[in-house]
């Protein structure tokens, strides 16, 4: 009995060595280097001394950068809330659809992953720019309203294109566009495992659809909701490409500031400190999700 167990353990150890070495060499070691830089300071344009100082963190906690972190959190929370509001009905429709329709809906949800994020963002820019598809459609509709009002000899002002691109709203819209599948899929997985008999029994006993949803569906899909929130919130906080292309100077998020410290300002200790403040915030979010999931499991038990 001991030999097969020992052999299985040896085989597992052999198979675990390559991925563990890859993880250490290309993830943990670079992460440790950046973490060490966060406790250093620049002594010249090309030299960094790691002396254990907290100057970079003190600089990162200045009101200017705390404000940018706060704005990033606001954008991320707004994105997560909108994704939950939009994604939950979609996930419900997918979970209760026929098998054939469910397969097509899953395909449509995962279809954006087949296209590069940069291309999708440029497509959104083409829709939101001043001469883009949204303003063209609004202008066409407004010209129709003007023509109808002219028949009644009523004058209304001409249409002026809306400023949709390079705004905070464009950033949130772009983040929702990117992160929505990451909210829908965990919700769908949780809803698909739902015991339908409980829902049918509540309806048979006189509960309304809203009451059945609030008392049966929502509590039993808490794990899916929490997973979707974490999968949406954390990437939204650290988003770089979307605010860089869709936002304006006042729409900078913390990832854009970090990128500029490493590429333009050459202040690697400060960029490292900002990066790890973002990572500490991520750890707090994941820990909160784990504690909430554990509390939910205890209540259901």
pLDDT of residue 6: 60
DSSP of 37-77:
HTTEEESSSS-EEE----HHHHHHTSHHHHHHHHHHHHHHH
pLDDT of residue 275: 92
> Residue 199 in contact with residue 222, Cβ under 8 Å?
no
pLDDT of residue 175: 96
Residue 67 lies in a domain: yes
Residue 73 lies in a domain: yes
Residue 32 lies in a domain: no
Structural domains counted in the chain = 1
Q: Helix H segments across the chain?
A: 2-23, 29-37, 55-60, 63-95, 99-110, 117-128, 133-151, 168-192, 196-204, 209-212, 218-220, 222-237, 241-246, 254-263, 268-300
Residue 141 lies in a domain: no
pLDDT of residue 272: 93
Dihedral angle of Cα 195, 200, 201, 205, to the nearest 10 degrees: 150
User: In terms of DSSP bridges, do strands 40-42 and 48-50 run parallel, antiparallel, or are they unpaired?
Assistant: antiparallel
> Cα dist. 77→52, 108, 197, 248 in Å?
34, 25, 34, 19
Q: Is 12 exposed, middle or buried (0-12, 13-18, 19+ CB in 10 A)?
A: exposed
CA angle 117, 266, 63 (to 5 degrees): 80
Length of the chain in terms of residues written: 301
CB atoms within 10 A of CB 80: 25
Dihedral angle of Cα 200, 202, 207, 209, to the nearest 10 degrees: -40
> Residue 273 in contact with residue 32, Cβ under 8 Å?
no
Residue 176 lies in a domain: yes
Q: Which of 228, 190, 224 is CA-nearest to residue 80?
A: 228
Positive or negative: CA dihedral 112, 289, 60, 28: negative
For 264, phi then psi, to 5°, come to -105, -50
> pTM here?
0.85
Q: Provide the residue-wise pLDDT of the chain in tens; the chain has 301 residues.
A: 455 656 667 777 778 888 899 999 999 999 999 999 999 988 776 788 898 889 999 999 999 999 999 999 999 999 999 999 999 999 988 988 888 999 999 999 998 888 889 999 999 999 999 888 999 999 898 888 888 887 777 777 888 888 999 999 999 999 999 999 999 999 999 888 877 777 667 766 666 667 777 777 777 788 888 889 989 999 999 999 999 999 988 888 999 999 999 888 889 999 999 999 988 888 888 888 778 777 766 766 5
pLDDT of residue 7: 61
Give CA–CA dist 215/201, Å, rounded.
12
DSSP label at residue 265: S
Residue 68 lies in a domain: yes
Domain containing 73 equals 55-129+164-300
CB atoms within 10 A of CB 26: 10
Residue 46 lies in a domain: no
Residue 43 lies in a domain: no
Please report, for the domain that includes residue 187, its CATH number. 1.10.3720.10
Positive or negative: CA dihedral 210, 227, 60, 239: negative
């Amino acid at each position: 009995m001991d030999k097969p167990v020992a052999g299985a353990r040896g085989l597992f150890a052999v198979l675990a060595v390559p991925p563990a070495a890859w993880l250490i060499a290309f993830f943990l070691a670079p992460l440790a280097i950046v973490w060490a830089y966060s406790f250093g300071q620049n002594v010249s344009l090309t030299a960094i001394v790691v002396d254990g100082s907290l100057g970079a963190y003190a600089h990162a906690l200045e009101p200017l950068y705390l404000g940018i972190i706060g704005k990033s959190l606001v954008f991320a929370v707004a994105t997560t809330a909108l994704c939950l509001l939009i994604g939950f009905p979609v996930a419900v429709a997918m979970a209760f659809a026929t098998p054939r329709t469910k397969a097509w809906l899953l395909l449509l949800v995962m279809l954006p992953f087949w296209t590069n994020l940069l291309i999708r963002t440029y497509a959104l820019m083409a829709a939101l720019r001043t001469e883009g598809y949204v303003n063209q459609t609004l202008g066409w509709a407004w010209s129709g309203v003007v023509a109808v009002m002219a028949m009644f000899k009523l004058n209304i002002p001409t249409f002026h294109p809306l400023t949709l691109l390079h705004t905070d709203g464009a950033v949130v819209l772009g983040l929702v566009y990117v992160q929505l599948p990451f909210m829908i899929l965990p919700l769908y997985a949780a809803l698909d495992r739902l015991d339908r008999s409980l829902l049918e029994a509540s309806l048979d006993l006189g509960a309304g659809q809203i009451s059945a949803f609030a008392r049966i569906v929502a509590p039993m899909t808490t794990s899916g909701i929490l997973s979707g929130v974490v999968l949406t919130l954390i990437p939204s906080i650290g988003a770089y490409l979307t605010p860089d292309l869709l936002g304006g100077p006042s729409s900078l998020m913390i990832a854009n500031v970090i990128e500029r410290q490493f590429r333009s300002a050459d202040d690697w200790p400060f960029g490292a400190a900002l990066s790890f403040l973002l990572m500490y915030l991520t750890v707090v979010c994941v820990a909160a999700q784990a504690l909430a999931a554990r509390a939910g499991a205890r209540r259901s038990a």
